[in-house]
Structure 1
Amino acid sequence: MTKQALILFAHGARAASWAAPFERLRELTQARTPGVRVSLAFLELMTPQLPALVAELTADGVTQITVVPVFLGQGGHVLRDLPLMIDQLRIDHPQVGIDVVEAAGENAAVLNALADYCVSSLSVQAAPD
């Protein structure tokens, strides 16, 4: 049987509070996928970083990993750094299938949800003077 994991991959920051919305996203995602382990990994400045998390998941018997880059745009990290990391992880863990989906901000449904939020902000108006 395939043991699956979903990794939400974010940049990372010096301030621990920066990770709070990503942790909430992880919790919401985990609640919707009880049979899949959902984890956060970071490119830099925070832990766990992607290679360490993949090693941990592999040691726990995970055989299929999907990585979701939780980035709004496809800058250098998504276009250059992540593919190199994934190539190395596939070499280091050949027994594990590792898939990467598009960056969250490149997905039409995500963009539409953000646009809905932006438009709804227009209805939040200050009381007239």
Structure 2
Amino acid sequence: MGKGLLIIAHGSRVEETKDVVTMVVEKIKSLKNTKDVKAGFMEFNEPDISTSIREFVEEGIYDIIAVPMFLFEGNHVLHDIPEVFGKEKKNIRV
């Protein structure tokens, strides 16, 4: 199988922010003519990062390119996201 592209966003209680991430994912899918693009959220929205990783694995996609959609390199980018991938690393290559 090919590679999966995981767009990672913080998430928000404001529903419109999830809509923006969803639009980005759908635009990338249309440009690449692929379904192997997903979103994963740190908090507040679904699916969370682990769920999206597991969905890729269930689809036979084990190579995942993680793209954090954050403005700044804060704690989530430096620590939390690598921790989630560390927990899932037995099934994937990042």
In the TM superposition, what whole-angstrom CA distance separates every residue of 1:58-100 from its partner, at most 9, and x where no partner exists?
Answer: 0111121111000011001101111111111103x1xx212xx
Structure 1: segments with no counterpart, 5+ residues:
99-129
Could you tell me how far apart the structure 1 residues matched to 2:17 and 2:35 are?
25
Q: Any idea what SS the aligned residue of 2:82 has?
A: helix
Runs of 4+ in 1 over 4 A off after TM superposition: none
Asked if structure 2 preserves the Cα contact closer than 8 Å seen for 1:6 and 1:36, the reply is: no
Task: Report the TM-score, using the length of structure 1 for normalisation.
Answer: 0.67
Corresponding position of 1:19 = 18
Corresponding position of 1:50 = 49
Task: Report the TM-score, using the length of structure 2 for normalisation.
Answer: 0.90
Residues matched between the structures, number:
94
Mapping of residues 18-37 of structure 1, within 5 Å: 18-35=17-34, 37=36
Corresponding position of 1:67 = 66
The reply on whether 1:83 has 2:82 as its aligned counterpart is yes
- Which structure has the highest helix share of the two? 1
Could you tell me how far apart the structure 2 residues matched to 1:58 and 1:8 are?
16
Could you tell me how far apart the structure 1 residues matched to 2:33 and 2:2 are?
12
Q: Any idea what SS the aligned residue of 2:40 has?
A: strand
% identical aligned pairs: 24
Structure 2: segments with no counterpart, 5+ residues:
none
Could you tell me how far apart the structure 2 residues matched to 1:33 and 1:65 are?
15
Could you tell me how far apart the structure 1 residues matched to 2:28 and 2:40 are?
14
**Which structure: larger Rg?**
1
Could you tell me how far apart the structure 2 residues matched to 1:19 and 1:57 are?
20
Could you tell me how far apart the structure 1 residues matched to 2:36 and 2:44 are?
23
Query: How far off its partner does 1:35 sit?
Result: 3.6
The reply on whether 1:97 has 2:93 as its aligned counterpart is yes
Greater RCO (CA < 8 Å, at least 6 residues apart): 2
Mapping of residues 103-122 of structure 1, within 5 Å: none
Asked if structure 2 preserves the Cα contact closer than 8 Å seen for 1:7 and 1:38, the reply is: yes
